[in-house]
Chain A
Amino acid sequence: MSAVIENHHEDHHHGPAKGFTRWLYTTNHKDIGTLYLWFSFAMFLIGGAMALVIRAELFQPGMQIVEPEFYNQMITLHGLIMIFGGVMPAFVGLANWLVPMMIGAPDMALPRMNNLSFWILPFAFFILLSSLFMEGGAPNFGWTFYAPLSTTYAPPSVTFFIFSVHIMGASSIMGAINVVVTIMNMRAPGVTLMKMPLFVWSWLITAYLLIAVMPVLAGAVTMMLMDIHFGTSFFNAAGGGDPVLFQHIFWFFGHPEVYIMILPAFGIVSHIIETFSRKQLFGYSSMVWAMLSIAILSFVVWAHHMFTVGLPLAAELFFMWATMLIAVPTGVKVFNWVATMFRGSLTFETPMLFAIAFVVLFTIGGLSGLMLAIVPADFQYHDTYFVVAHFHYVLVPGAIFSIMAAVYYWIPKWSGNMYDERLGKLHFWLSFIGVNVTFFPQHFIGLAGMPRRYPDYALQFADWNMVSSVGAFLFGVSQILFLFIVIKTVMGGKKATDQVWEGARGLEWTVASPAPYHTFTTPPKVD
C-alpha cells in the first residue's frame, strides 16, 4: 500500500512513519494485516518448495533425488509450515485488515498486542527452519508428531520444534483474543451481532476455537518436552504412560484446528458469491447457525482420526455418527451458496471464479471426508493417499483458494489499484487445473492401497504418481504468477473506485480506495 495523505481531513490524522521502523513498531491494523499476509505468502512459497521436493521424489518409483531421512523432514516441515505459517497467518492477516473496517471500528482493540503477536511469528519459523541445519536434521515425525516417534525416537532438534510450536501458539492465542475483544466491544452503533458481515462472524467463532484448543496443543508439546528432558512418562508405556493418550490430546486440538482453517474461508466465500451474484446472500441466519454448529461439533469428533488404534465399538459408532452429523450444517452452507447464485446476474471475475471453485472442490473434499468417517471403510483408507487427497482437497482448493479469492476481491481496496483481470483469470485456470491434476489421482492410488509418508512405492502406483507430480509443478509455478500479479497491482494499475465491485456491500466499501491509513475514527451510521 502506498502511504495516503488524507487532505480532506484535519491535521491530527497522520500517515504511517517512514522506513523499516514503520513495520517494526506499527500498531496499525492495516499495516499488521499486510505484514501477516506477506509473511504467510513467504511461508506458502517455502512450504510449496518442500511439497515440490516431495513430488519430485515421487515422480518415479525408487529413490531418485533425496535420502529417505530428508524426505521425512520435508513431509513434516511441509505440513507444519503450510498450516501454522501459511493458512493460519493469512487468515489472521485478513482479519486484521477487514474486521475493523467491516464493523466500523478505528483499529483492533489491542494494537500493541497485535504488533507482538505478529513479530514473534518470524522467530518461531526461523527456529523451526533452522533445525534443517542441525545435527540429526529437522523434525522427521510427520506434522502430527505422534509420540513415541516424536519423543523416544526423535532427533535432538525436537526441542527447537517444541519451542517454535509454543511461540506459534502464543501468537495465535494473542491474535484470537484481539479479534474477540474487537468484535465484542468495538462494533459501530447499529452493527448488532446478527447484522455482522459473515466474515466477522466466521472469525469470531474461529477465535473462540483458537482460544479453546491452542493451549491444549501447548500442553501436548509441553508434555513431550517433559518426557524428553525431565524424565516424566506421559506417553512412555514403560513408565506407565500411554502413546494413545498423545493421539487423544493431539486430535482434541487437531480437529477444531481443521475448522479454524476453514471457517474464515466460509465467511470470505459468502461475501464474494453475494457480490458477484448481485443478490442478497440466501439464508444469512442459517449460515451463522451452521458455523456455530460446526464449531461445537468439532469438539466431539476427534477420535475419527484414530479409528484404527483399537477403540471400543461404542466409541467408534459415536465418533462415526458425530462426524457424519457435521455434513448437515456444511450441507446447509453449500445449499445457501448455490441458492444465492441461483437466478442471480452472475459475472465471473477472478474472485468469483475462485469462490465457485471453492464451493465445488471443497464439497468433493467434504464427501471424501464422509467416506473416511465410515469406520469399516476407514480401516481400509487409513494412512493411504486417499486421506492425503481428502485433506488437500479441503485445504488447497478449500482454504487456500478462499485466501486467493479474498486477495483478488479486496486488493483494490487495499492498494487502490485493480489487478490485471486477464492475468488473474490465467492464474485461476492454471491453479484450478494444477490442483485437480495433483490431487484427484491421489484418490485412485489411495484406494488402490498406496500408503502415505513413504518416499518410495510399488510399481503399480507409478502412472498416477507421475500425473500427480506434473500437476504439482504446474500448480507450484502458477503461484509465481500470483506473486507477480500482486506486486504488479501494488505498484500500479487502473484506479479502483470506492465501491470497487458493482454488487459489493458492507462498510469497507464505503471508505476511499486505497483505504486511508485511519478509517472510522468516528463511528459510521448504520441503520
Chain B
Amino acid sequence: MNSEAKKTLRRLVIAVPLMFAFGFALVPLYNVFCEVTGINGKVFQSDYEEELVIADGRPLGLQFISTNNENMPWIFKPSEDVMTISTGEYYTATFYVKNPTNKTMTAQAVPSVAPSNAAAHLKKLECFCFEQQELAPGEDALLPVRLLVSDELPENIKNIILSYTIFDVTEPDDETVAQVENEDHHGMEH
C-alpha cells in the first residue's frame, strides 16, 4: 500500500471513534438545546428574578396532572387541580403524596409542561422534582412547587398544564432481591 493510501486509511480510522464519540455527545447537546430553546417541556431551576415580578399581570389557568409510572404504589395527587393565577407573580402549589406500602421507598417526579412553548416562560424557584423523595411506610407529605409565569408568555396561551410523573427509584437492597428471587423460584416449582 502506498503512502497516499495509508494517509486515507489513517483519516478514516480516526473518523470512526470520533463519530462514536459524537453519538455520545448528542446526549449533552440535546439537553443543552432543550434548555436553551425550552422545547422539550422541560423546566429547569431558576433564580429569583426581581424584574419578572409585576403587579398587573394577566389571568391564566394553571392545571395540574399527576401520573404514577407503571406499578408505583404511592398515592400522588395535586392539592388543587386548577389554579387561577396572574403572570408575573409567585405562587406555591402543593402535591399530596403517601407511601401506602410497608417498606421505605424513594421516588422521583419528572415534570413536563404543555404547551411546550410555555416551558421557557415558567420559572420554578423550587420544586420537589429537583430532588428525590423518601417516605417511610405509611408516611405522607405535601410537596411544594414555587413558580412564576413570566408576562412574556405568548398572548394566545390561556392555560398551562403542568404534569408530573412519579417514578419508583428505590434501590433494591439485598433482602428484597433475595425475596424476589425466592418468589421466582417458588413460582417455577408450581
Contact = CB atoms under 8 A, between A and B. Distances in A.
Contact of B17 (A215, A249, A310): A215
B19 A213 contact: yes
B108 interface: yes
A312 B41 CA distance: 10
Nearest to A185: B5
Contacts of A244: 40
Interface string A52-86: 00000000000000000000000000000000000
B8 A215 contact: no
B116 A185 contact: no
A contact face: mostly helix, strand, loop, or mixed = helix
Interface stretch (B22-30, B97-105, B139-147): B22-30
B contact face: mostly helix, strand, loop, or mixed = helix
A485 B24 CA distance: 47
B19 A234 contact: no
Nearest to A220: B23
B12 A177 contact: yes
A212 B21 CA distance: 11
A315 interface: yes
Interface in B69-104: 69
Interface string A413-426: 00000000000000
Contacts of B169: 238-239
B2 A185 contact: yes
Nearest to B15: A211
B16 A215 contact: yes
A291 interface: no
Interface string B21-55: 11110110011000001011100000000000000
B157 interface: no
B180 interface: no
Contacts of B117: 312
Contacts of A248: 26, 30
A248 to B, nearest CB: 6
Interface residues of B, number: 35
A185 B40 CA distance: 47
Nearest to B166: A238
A312 B117 CA distance: 8
A234 B40 contact: no
A312 B23 contact: no
Given A184-B8, A242-B30, A242-B40, A216 B23 contact: yes
Given A177-B12, A211-B16, A215-B16, A310 B116 contact: yes
Contacts, number: 93
Contacts of B20: 215-216, 218-219
B1 interface: yes
Given A211-B15, A239-B169, A216 B22 contact: yes
Nearest to A252: B26
Contacts of A177: 9, 12-13, 16
Nearest to B69: A238
B66 interface: no
Given A181-B12, A211-B16, A315-B39, A109 B1 contact: yes
Interface in A302-316: 310-312, 315
Interface of A: 109-110, 173, 177, 180-181, 184-186, 211-220, 223, 234, 237-239, 242, 244-245, 248-249, 252, 310-312, 315
Interface of B: 1-2, 4-5, 8-9, 12-13, 15-24, 26-27, 30-31, 37, 39-41, 69, 108, 110, 116-117, 165, 167-169
Given A109-B9, A184-B8, A239-B169, 14 more contacts: A181-B8, A185-B1, A186-B5, A211-B15, A212-B19, A216-B20, A237-B69, A237-B167, A238-B110, A238-B169, A242-B30, A244-B40, A249-B23, A252-B23
17 contacts: A110-B9, A177-B13, A185-B1, A212-B19, A215-B17, A215-B23, A216-B22, A217-B23, A223-B23, A237-B69, A237-B167, A238-B69, A238-B167, A242-B31, A244-B40, A245-B30, A310-B41
